Amino acid sequence: MKFRILLTVLFISALSLAQDKQPYQLYNKEGKKTTYKKLLKAAGETEVVLFGEHHDNSLIHWLQLELTKDLSAAKPLVLGAEMVERDNQKQLDQYLKGEIDQKAFDTLARLWNNHKTDYKPLVDLAKEKNYPFIATNIPRRYASKVYKGGFEALDALTAEEKTWIAPLPIAYDATLPGYVKMLEMAGGHGGDNLPKAQAVKDATMGYFIAQNLKPGTIFVHYNGTYHSDNFEGINWYLKKAKPGVKIVTIAAVSQKDVSKLEKEYLNVADFIIVVDEDMTKTF
């Protein structure tokens, strides 16, 4: 009888744990669990939100949209994204103004394959609210030039082309841990130009965020989490351009168990979204 009671208790306990499953958990940089309410409060009191994402994660994209909607209820916003390149700002503005429809926008701009599912809702929110949406990323072909020929390859760009990137010469610190780790992970492939190609993206995004800061607004920027993890990347360049700017960084990580932040992710950002590794991918 006692054995049956014990089995029943164990079954109920296991069932309770199963029912408590959740797809994500928020943490602060010290690794302590925190809440969406605290994230929203911190984001609402800053000037720039760098929302680091995993590009294919459906839950992260949902959180981006929800946070942006909630912030817009309190303050006017400026939105911006890595996913639209600087030389497509004209087409993006035309779409926001209703001068072209989505089909024309898809044709005229180099949009990511998951734009309709993951980024269109953000662009459409900007359109609805009449917010600016800034294409912040360097055109990919120029980052490729840096990968092949270093920063010097950018000197040959035309005057117009140079308006689509951060001003030359590009500031660069090869000792930043993120760039060092990138070299290590690549196992020597790409040489010193690999982190430089990353840096020119970070520099360009940081520059165009800085150029579009407006008093009384919050600039919400969407980028791959590696571009702002560890308060480096975009964050580093933005601080160089605007030393006093207030920034809240959000990082995305995937774990098998979301109930405790793994040590390697401590201090990666002000807020860390831990998503169950089995979460649905959008591509």
Fold of 23-276: Rossmann fold (3.40.50)
Model pLDDT for residues 214-224, shown as the tens digit of each residue? 999 999 999 99
Q: List the structure tokens of 15.
A: 């069932």
> Residue 91 to residues 101, 119, 121, 136, 251: CA-CA distances in angstroms?
10, 15, 17, 14, 29
**Residue in 132, 152, 137, 39 with CA at minimum distance from that of residue 88:** 137
**Residue in 271, 198, 203, 197 with CA at minimum distance from that of residue 238:** 203
DSSP assignment string, 240-281: HHSTT--EEEEEEEEES-TTS--GGGTTSSSEEEEEETTSPB
The pLDDT of residue 163 = 98
Segments making up each domain of the chain, as ranges? 23-276
SS3 26: strand
- Average pLDDT (251-264) is 97
Q: List the structure tokens of 97.
A: 């103004």
- Average pLDDT (146-171) is 98
Alpha helices in the chain (DSSP H): 2-19, 36-44, 58-72, 89-96, 102-108, 120-129, 140-149, 159-162, 177-186, 193-211, 234-241
Q: What is the rounded CA–CA span in Å between residue 218 and residue 77?
A: 5
Cβ density class 115-146: b for 16+ within 10 Å, e for less: beebbbebbebbeeeebbbbbbbbbeebbebb
The pLDDT of residue 60 = 97
The pLDDT of residue 188 = 66
Q: What is the rounded CA–CA span in Å between residue 170 and residue 151?
A: 7
Model pLDDT for residues 77-103, shown as the tens digit of each residue? 999 999 999 999 999 999 999 999 999
Q: What is the rounded CA–CA span in Å between residue 211 and residue 48?
A: 12
Name which residue leads in pLDDT, 28 or 185.
Answer: 28
The pLDDT of residue 4 = 52
pLDDT band at 17 (very low <50, low <70, confident <90, very high): very low
pTM: 0.92
Model pLDDT for residues 36-77, shown as the tens digit of each residue? 999 999 999 999 999 999 999 999 999 999 999 999 999 999
- Average pLDDT (123-146) is 98
Q: What is the rounded CA–CA span in Å between residue 117 and residue 55?
A: 11
The pLDDT of residue 184 = 87
Q: What is the rounded CA–CA span in Å between residue 94 and residue 96?
A: 5
Model pLDDT for residues 136-154, shown as the tens digit of each residue? 999 999 999 999 999 999 9
- Give first-to-last CA distance, the chain, whole Å: 52
Mean of all residue pLDDT scores within the chain: 93
In this model, does residue 1 exceed pLDDT 90? no
Amino acid identity of residue 283, one-letter, is F
Q: List the structure tokens of 221.
A: 């920027």
